[in-house]
Structures are given as structure tokens and as C-alpha cells.
Amino acid sequence: MNLKEGMPLENQGLYIPANIRPRFEFFDGYGVPELAATVIAALVSGFIAFIIRAFSDGMILPVLCVLVTVAVSVTAQVKDASNQSVIDQIKYVLRFLKGQKVYPYYYYNDYQYKLRKGRPYVRI
């Protein structure tokens, strides 16, 4: 493919191969922003696990708290081939549920009424 002299690259219509991700990903659909959200979730659940550990004798519940939180966070944030995650799907459903569902429609028969001079529509 030849590049035209003096024309900016944006206007030349360069070929970009399919299935090439524009950002770094650890595995398909899970990149640095998702990792940051998972780390934040792990820190919050670690704090909660610390509080649980302070008031209980066992270690199983706090450890399970952290492990389940991280697993759910990763699973919910991984994007599929259509670039949507479980969290995105939940956002779409909630936005749909908040939207208008009833569209009032008033039928008006043009052939049954006509406009008289200066007066509203009257029945013929």
C-alpha cells in the first residue's frame, strides 16, 4: 500500500487488521483499567476481611471474602468479543428500566372534524 506524499495519515485510510486490540491486555478483555478496579475491590474486601477477623476466631471467612471478591470482580469486568462486560450489560438493563415505557397516543380522525372560521373543530 502506497502512502501519499504530503497527506496526513488520518486522511489516508490506513488498513488496520482485525482482532488487534488498541491497548495492552493481560488476557482477552482484561487490561490495565480492569486490573486497577480489581485491586481497589481487593483492598476494600481486605479491609472488610480485617474487620471480620478482628471479631471472629476463624480465618476461613476473611480469606473467602477476599478470594470471592477478586474472582467476582475479574469475572464481571472481562469484556467479550463485542467489547461488553457483565457490568456494562447491567448498566444497560438499569438504564432501560429507568426509561419511559408508556408512549401515549391520541387518535384524531381528520375526516370526522373540520375547522370552521374562528371556531374550534366541530363535528360534521
What's the DSSP call for residue 10? G
Sign of CA dihedral 109, 114, 118, 119: negative
C-alpha 69: how far from its chain's center? 20
pLDDT tens for residues 27-64?
A: 888 889 999 999 999 999 999 999 999 998 889 999 99
**Quick check: 41 and 69 in contact, CB under 8 A?**
yes
Helix 60-77 vs helix 32-55: angle between axes, to the nearest 10 degrees?
160
C-alpha 63: how far from its chain's center? 30
pLDDT mean over 12-28? 73
Taking the complete model, does pTM exceed 0.75, yes or no? Answer: no
CA angle 105/107/111 to nearest 5° reads 160
